[in-house]
Amino acid sequence: MSKKNLKCDLKYCQDCGVRLRQGNCREEDHYVVLTRTCPKCGKSVHLVEITKDDYNQSVQTLNKIIDLIQSGG
């Protein structure tokens, strides 16, 4: 039996503690934007999902930046 993680911004409203409902979904060039809404207070949370390839490329770029900063140049 799993417990509710009310601190999860993606599943539960941080104002009411009610489980968010998935609203609209729109596709952009390389990512998808999902909107979840609280059925009690109406608060909206926007989630951006990107492709695995785009994510991996972003992480590689970030790691290169971190390496440059740590090496001092």
Summarize pLDDT for 1-18 with one digit per residue, the tens. 456 777 777 788 888 888
Can you give the pLDDT at residue 2?
Answer: 54
pTM of the model: 0.55
CA distance 40 to 27: 27
Can you give the pLDDT at residue 1?
Answer: 47
Of residues 54, 46, 4, 55, the one with CA closest to residue 25: 46
Summarize pLDDT for 21-64 with one digit per residue, the tens. 988 777 777 778 888 999 999 888 888 888 888 888 988 999 99
